[in-house]
A and B are shown apart, each in its own frame.
Chain A
Amino acid sequence: MAKSENEMTWKDVEIGCIVTEPGGAKAYESGTWRSQRPTYNFNKCIKCGLCSLYCPEGCIDKNKDGYFEADLFYCKGCGVCARECWTKVITMVEEVE
């Protein structure tokens, strides 16, 4: 995508909004929908990866230390990961301004 959605004018809209390049979903910051964010106590984490399997956004992956963590660019803050975590690693907290 040459321009972001915030920069495109009506003249830049493709015929019928047809998407001609892949990657539109990857470029979309669904994290702006979030009203709560996941926070982690990795001391409790057993690295089972169940949170990443349940994540409806598919945005949880291993971080550099091998713990599972959400990518906040995409995370919508639904809290499914916190609900499903066996060892209660994840606590959802309110997003503040």
Chain B
Amino acid sequence: MATRIGVEVSIAVADAVKLCNPDVIAAYPITPQTHIVEHLAELVANGELDAEYIPVESEHSAMSACLGSAATGARTFTATASQGLALMNEVVYVASAMRLPVIMAVANRSLSAPLSIWCDHSDMMSVRDTGWIQIITENGQQAVDNTIISFRVGEDPQVLLPVMVHLDGFNLTHVVEPIMIPDQAEVDKYLPKNRFPLPLNPDKPVAMGGFAAPAIFMETKWAQEVNIQNSKKVILQAWDEFNKIFGRKYEPIEKYQSDGAKTLILTVGSSGETASVAVDELKKEGMDVGQVRIRLWRPFPFEELREAVKGADVLIVMDRAISFGGPGGPIASEVKAALYNQAKKPNVVNYVISLGGRDTTVSDFKNIIKQGVGIAEKGSKNEYEIYGVRG
């Protein structure tokens, strides 16, 4: 039987990794990811988890060790954040192109400078185009569930891709939440053994990480792109199967009070729950407003997004990162691109909020929604709006 306990989300994520029985964990501690890997190290040291824990000297080495591990067919986990993700960036690209199913929790934190340990999504956006499947979670339960789901998706023979589970640093990693910790027998039922089809094996040698001349390089990249596009159906199946066993449902675009609403707010990550309260209060005040949330970031859920927002007149998109000198928030940029060729589409207003851990409260979200509707009606000279900057 699953048990519902009050637990810090990082500890719960580590316990979820334990339930998946990984063979190798290679990680370097960095705030706010630290508690996840500390607890895994503790589980291994206590003999509660039979895995190799490799305490590497940097994140670049962490991901490199993970590649070697996954290449042998071992179930592999790591976690990082911010500067750590930036340092491992080069190897992050290699994991996906080599089709190695490494599972990584990213405790989202802003990138320097100035130095900040607090949450935004600049680290997430720095790896947007690395070819990993990326799931964005909104609360501790989602982080736990999608950690388990990630192993099943990434290691699926039809997929064979690394998967990132994003959870907001501090806002999720360091809070205590009531979380259903799944039962081991149920996880075992849900998660088959990892069977990488061409592992490193002295009895059947293969070469990995080779060179591709111009005559073949484009074919390799297209194969990679088709593969991640096709992974979506496996992700949907894995979410569906998870719902059948565990009773919690996930979708690429999740909707809250959005059916028929003329104004929608689109949120990413933990601040979505605060926005939901704002939506509730505005509805009580008589405003016709709903919410959509992005759960699946890569592969991008084009069809589901278009379907979810097609009836709306105004779509207010929240971003926790800036593409400097560019179109504003990366999420809004992609949402606009997804809608551009549609005959009927909402007017998209983009807000950049909550950089470097700045709180966006319920009343802030209410302001944003009201202001956003005004901007949609009157227009704005700005490519995007930034919320709460003084002066």
Residues of B within 8 A of A96 (CB): none
Residue among A9, A14, A16 facing the most chain B CB atoms (10 A cut-off)? A16
Residues of B within 8 A of A9 (CB): 219
| Inter-subunit contact B207/A18 (CB<8 Å) | yes
| Inter-subunit contact B219/A10 (CB<8 Å) | yes
Residues of B within 8 A of A6 (CB): 215
Q: Out of B98, B205, B219, which one reaches A8, CB within 8 Å?
A: B219
| Inter-subunit contact B222/A16 (CB<8 Å) | no
| Inter-subunit contact B206/A17 (CB<8 Å) | no
Per-position 1/0 for B226-253, Cβ under 8 A of A: 1000000000000000000000000000
Distance A90 CA – B206 CA, assembled complex (angstroms): 39
| Inter-subunit contact B213/A5 (CB<8 Å) | yes
Number of B residues whose C-beta is below 8 Å from A? Answer: 21
Per-position 1/0 for A15-30, Cβ under 8 A of B: 1111110101000100
Which B residues, 190 to 241, have Cβ-Cβ distances below 8 Å to chain A? 197-198, 205-208, 210, 212-213, 215-216, 219-220, 222-223, 226
CB distance from B331 to the nearest CB of A (A): 29
From known contacts A10-B222, A11-B223, infer whether A18 and B198 are also in contact, taking CB-CB under 8 Å. Answer: yes
Which A residue sits closest to B205, measured CB to CB? A22
CB distance from B71 to the nearest CB of A (A): 9
Q: Does B97 contact A (CB under 8 A)?
A: yes
Residues of A within 8 A of B207 (CB): 18-19, 24
CB distance from A88 to the nearest CB of B (A): 34
Q: Out of B208, B216, B219, B226, which one reaches A16, CB within 8 Å?
A: B208
CB distance from B22 to the nearest CB of A (A): 20
| Inter-subunit contact B198/A10 (CB<8 Å) | no
Residues of B within 8 A of A50 (CB): none
| Inter-subunit contact B208/A19 (CB<8 Å) | yes
From known contacts A10-B223, A11-B223, infer whether A16 and B215 are also in contact, taking CB-CB under 8 Å. Answer: no
| Inter-subunit contact A24/B216 (CB<8 Å) | no
Residues of A within 8 A of B213 (CB): 5, 28
| Inter-subunit contact A19/B216 (CB<8 Å) | no
Residues of A within 8 A of B198 (CB): 14-16, 18, 20
| Inter-subunit contact A20/B219 (CB<8 Å) | no
Which A residue sits closest to B196, measured CB to CB? A15
Residues of A within 8 A of B212 (CB): 17
CB distance from B199 to the nearest CB of A (A): 10
CB distance from A79 to the nearest CB of B (A): 23
| Inter-subunit contact B219/A13 (CB<8 Å) | yes
Residues of A within 8 A of B100 (CB): 16
Residue among B97, B210, B222 facing the most chain A CB atoms (10 A cut-off)? B210
Which A residue sits closest to B210, measured CB to CB? A19
| Inter-subunit contact A20/B223 (CB<8 Å) | no
Known: A13-B216, A13-B219, A28-B213. 7 other contacts (CB 8 A): A11-B223, A15-B99, A16-B97, A16-B208, A17-B220, A18-B208, A19-B206
Between A and B, 27 residue pairs with Cβ closer than 8 Å are A6-B215, A8-B219, A9-B219, A10-B219, A10-B220, A10-B223, A10-B226, A12-B219, A13-B216, A13-B219, A13-B220, A15-B197, A16-B98, A16-B160, A16-B198, A16-B208, A17-B98, A18-B98, A18-B206, A18-B207, A18-B208, A19-B206, A19-B210, A20-B206, A22-B205, A24-B207, A24-B210
